[in-house]
Amino acid sequence: MPQMTINTGDTAFMLLCSSLVMLMTPGLAFFYGGLVGRKNVLAIMIQSFVSMGWTTVLWWAYGFSLCFSGDLKSGTDLAGIVGNLDWAFLRGITLQMPSPVNDGIPMIVFIAYQMMFAVITPALITGAFTNRVTFKAYMLFLTGWLTFVYFPFVHMVWGGGILAKLGVLDFAGGIVVHNIAGIAALASILYVGKRKVEDRGPHSIPLVALGTGLLWFGWYGFNAGSEFRVDSVTAVAFLNTDLAGSFAAIAWLAMDWMTSKKPKFLGLLTGAVAGLATITPAAGYVSPTTACLIGVIAGVVCFYAVALKNKLGWDDALDVWGVHGVGGFIGIILSGIFATTAFNPAGVDGLLRGNSRFFFVQLLAVVISSAWAFAFTYGMLWLIDRVTVVKVTEEGERSGLDSSIHGETAYLEGV
């Protein structure tokens, strides 16, 4: 094998971005931890942190291989849906092997970066069924969901699979991360049902703010890093990320202020996350002005999605569907409308620039991903329930999952 010439600048940048994306999972743990009551803080936080451990094990064993080995074009994958096991246990990965997206970056760096995406995606779902699911069932869910939902969609969109062949573009994970996680959250809450014991959360909005700050900071690595090199598209993805998050935060704050007559800090924080999720698939394909518009749309639409959830009585405890599911969905649609080669020559033009095919391809892809994620998640929970009880008892809810399942407490009694 010829010697690979490492681009030290790109490689260093991608190592930094991998670190930023890794930081998002603890950030998510803080974000969710602040939103629940005092008796369930550790139970929700461990679900994010355990993903950092167990998802990494699965990624090394077979996850990376299922995502990125083989492709539809050469007929070396499984019908364009999932890869093969040629790279299971990272077998055959050498120091000199270049990544598939930039031959100046070692494959080892690409593995690490994509692993951080795999870690946070299932952790997003946990906010929907907080205070209700046993830890044993969650571990089985984590394993099954990654294997049958996340890994196939990574391959289909980013690994040379069937959606990539159709021309679907997802810059940093509108389908692959946010939409499938949000729809899985919806399936989860419909299967598990409502909490029997009302949670008084959020118990710590400052903790939510800390989590939001870490998520926002890490999101620059999430979106800008998805260019896999340092160029002007990297810069525009970075800027678009901040613009959309900021505009969505203000839009949600305004909506909250108008309806509740008070400017809510929690609304500002939730809006920021909605904007960041929505710009993710479009970050490297649209102009900064469009990113501002996408942020406003995200803040308003996701705000009403959460209001609809409340009206329908869905117990999506931490608004995963309304923020990530809806945000990812509309982000993919909006990229199909607003994408422009003026800001990414390697991308495509969207509906507003005369390319209706790309718009309908994006629409088809997000409908398929939503249906797949919902059906597989609901079916998986049903199967897990046959093996071990999914939902905690009412007594477990009443005493709190921290003590009833984990035998620990976040705070001293009475303090």
Q: 294-339, pLDDT tens digit by residue? A: 999 999 999 999 999 999 999 998 999 999 999 999 999 999 999 9
pLDDT band for position 199 (cuts 50, 70, 90): confident
Asked if 278 and 294 count as a contact pair (C-beta separation under 8 A), the reply is yes
User: What is residue 154's three-state secondary structure?
Assistant: helix
Q: Looking at residue 1, what is its pLDDT?
A: 47
Look-up: residue for tokens 């046959």? 386
Q: 374-394, pLDDT tens digit by residue? A: 999 999 999 999 999 999 999
150's tokens: 């996340």
50's tokens: 């355990």
* pLDDT at residue 365 greater than cutoff 50: yes
Interval 81-92 mean pLDDT:
97
106-114 own/partner pairs: CB under 8 Å, 24+ apart: 106/4, 106/6, 106/11, 109/11, 109/14, 109/15, 109/18, 110/14, 110/228, 111/59, 111/64, 112/15, 112/18, 113/14, 113/17, 113/18, 113/21, 113/225, 114/64, 114/67, 114/68, 114/154
CA atoms within 13 A of residue 322's CA, in its CB half-sphere:
26
Give percent of the chain above pLDDT 70. 99
The domain spans of the chain are: 8-404
Please give the single-letter amino acid code of residue 31.
F
Look-up: residue for tokens 């984990």? 406
For the chain, helix (H) and strand (E) counts, in that order, are: 17, 0
What predicted TM-score, i.e. pTM, was given to this entire model? 0.96
CA distance readout (Å), 90 to 69, 76, 79, 97, 180: 11, 17, 22, 12, 26
- Burial status of residue 147 (CB atoms within 10 A of its CB: 0-12, 13-18, 19 or more): middle
Q: What is the mean pLDDT of the chain?
A: 96
Interval 233-247 mean pLDDT:
98
Interval 47-74 mean pLDDT:
97
User: What is residue 128's three-state secondary structure?
Assistant: coil
Look-up: residue for tokens 């422009």? 340
- CA 261/CA 231 separation, integer angstroms: 44
* pLDDT at residue 70 greater than cutoff 90: yes
Q: 8-58, pLDDT tens digit by residue? A: 999 999 999 999 999 999 999 999 999 999 999 999 999 999 999 999 999
DSSP lists the bridge partners of residue 106 as 98
Asked if 188 and 314 count as a contact pair (C-beta separation under 8 A), the reply is no
* pLDDT at residue 415 greater than cutoff 90: no
Q: 137-179, pLDDT tens digit by residue? A: 999 999 999 999 999 999 999 999 999 999 999 999 999 999 9
Count CB neighbours of 352 within 10 A: 13
pLDDT band for position 286 (cuts 50, 70, 90): very high
- CA 265/CA 277 separation, integer angstroms: 19
* pLDDT at residue 3 greater than cutoff 70: no
363's tokens: 């629409």
- CA 333/CA 88 separation, integer angstroms: 34
Give percent of the chain above pLDDT 90. 96
Residue whose C-alpha is closest to residue 373's, from 320, 309, 298: 320
* pLDDT at residue 346 greater than cutoff 60: yes
Class of domain 8-404 as given by CATH: mainly alpha
CA angle 90, 106, 21 (to 5 degrees): 80
